[in-house]
Amino acid sequence: MLLAGKTVVVSGVGPGLGHRVAETVVRDGGHAVLGARTAANLARSAAQIDPEGRSTAHLPTDITDEGQCEALAALAVERFGGIDAVVHVAAWDSCFGGLQDADFATWQAVIDVNLLGTLRMTRACLPALKEEGGSVVVIGTQSSVAAPSEVRQAAYAASKGALTSAMYSLARELGPHRIRVNTVLPGWMWGPPVQAYVQFAADSEGVPESEVLDRLTARMALPELATDGDVAEAVAFLASDRARAITGQSLLVNAGELMR
């Protein structure tokens, strides 16, 4: 029970990684406080994870709104007595393209969500985290350190890269309060977004989905893609006391595609 008695705020809970993280928190004995913009997604996830409603709470939350971030943090404290960890899954990852076709107004919006939104949510949780110390876990992306050739997501990669850089400063600033700050960098992660990419590529090329998946898997040291569940397991470890001496670190969860 890695997170027994811990209260973990999880932003960006939808059908994929956010749901898996919240599910893992509850499975490992913790309380999960779910935030996302879409109320229906929150209610669905909470009902699946915790049918009796004993270990979860949820509130529609747009992390570009400081007041809504504060409301989610307040819900965690009110319902479960504090905050032990916050996990940042919420992100805008659907802005595609590179520099030459960039719409910088959209880039600014991506940065407002991925970089500043994460910082807003972290700051909202700080008063509670300072009570006992705790953990901040950011979901980054391998594309911030090694751009994929299949798709261009320059705005997403740049915003997540900036967030990884911010992690180092946060780890120093918050360390005296015994608050740890780490980043998990998924690569090709088998879950709804990658499943959609595989289906799209297969349809576009007129080939079986298995062929597209095999091309991706061939680059991995392990003979399969990491899953969103695998990433959630890494998050749970970093949120737990077993990682009490780990801060300012980036952990690649990518089946060995990129090694550093």
Q: Which residues are catalytic?
A: 156
Strands (E), the chain: 7-11, 31-36, 56-60, 85-88, 134-139, 179-186, 189-190, 226-227, 250-253
Sign, CA torsion 158/164/168/171:
positive
What string of H, E and C letters represents the secondary structure of 75-131? HHHHHHCCCCEEEECCCCCCCCECCCCCCHHHHHHHHHHHHHHHHHHHHHHHHHHHH
d(CA 59, CA 237): 25
In the 8-state DSSP scheme, what is residue 1?
-
- The SS3 call for residue 2 is coil
CA nearest 58: which of 7, 121, 9, 23?
A: 9
| Residue 259, phi then psi, degrees to nearest 5 | -120, 135
Site of tokens 């890695």: 2
Residues in the chain: 260
Find all residues with CB under 8 Å of 2, minimum gap 6, and list them. Answer: 28, 29, 236, 237, 240, 242
CA nearest 155: which of 224, 76, 93?
A: 93
